[in-house]
Amino acid sequence: MAAAFNGFGQKAIPLLKALDFHQSREWFLENRDLFERELRDPFGDLIETLSERFTAAGLGLRGDRKKSLFRINRDVRFARDKSPYNRHLSAILSPDGTKMEQGVFFVHIGLERCFAGVAWWQPGPSLLLAMRNAVATRPGEFRALMKSLKKNRLELDAEGCMKRAPRGFEHVTEADLAAATRNRHFAVRHEIDPAGIYGPALVDELVDFALRAKPLLDWGRAIEGQVE
């Protein structure tokens, strides 16, 4: 049984600010206990509480504190910015509990913003092609998805959208369908008020968002099931 999520520590965001200021391994090691108590361990509780709630709701998303959390350390091998630590902590819940699947739930707690997402994020070429084909050849299903999301106060994220039609989709001229075929991913987001991360009500907020985003999960899973 997972430990119930009772909120992040009051020093969670100040800790991220201090870590970003120092960007020092020595400073981090001196404050590791505080990082674990205020941020990492509560995040683990949140993941496992959400996993239980998502399972009960039939969302097909799960995770745990060992597999789902991303490291606070940055991968700087090919980056110009060699700062060793991220300005945020994040996690993924997925169909199999790993970070390798598509159709996932994402949580991000950071200095610039806090948000959650449900996404088919940069899917592989075969799945992305299948999704674009679904938009172009079954427009009724796609428009029904858009209607459901709008009813649920959500809309597709336009970040990273191509400026021109991808090859093979130049014939799609209806504005809503043409825009969708230019997507590199299919995702919706929910902004989290940073003031709301310190209490257990965050769980209900995120479960509500995941349920509102379920039409996108269902649409993508139906397409994924047809891709070899």
Domain residues for the domain of 101 are 12-224
Domain-embedded: residue 42: yes
Domain-embedded: residue 147: yes
DSSP secondary structure code for residue 194 in this structure: G
Domain-embedded: residue 166: yes
For residue 228, name the pLDDT band (cuts at 50, 70, 90).
low
Domain-embedded: residue 46: yes
Single-letter amino acid code for the residue at 197? I
Rounded CA separation 139/151 (Å): 18
Domain-embedded: residue 136: yes
3-class secondary-structure state, position 104: strand
- pLDDT one-digit tens code per residue, 55-97: 999 999 999 999 999 999 988 777 788 899 999 999 999 999 9
Number of domains in the chain: 1
Domain-embedded: residue 79: yes
Return the pLDDT at 201.
Answer: 97
- pLDDT one-digit tens code per residue, 178-197: 999 999 999 999 999 999 99
Domain-embedded: residue 5: no
Strands 88-93 vs 114-120: parallel, antiparallel or unpaired: unpaired
Place of tokens 């970070």: 99
CB-based burial, 163-176: b 16+ in 10 Å, e otherwise: eebeeebeebeeee
Domain-embedded: residue 2: no
* CATH number, residue 27: 3.30.930
- pLDDT one-digit tens code per residue, 212-222: 999 999 999 99
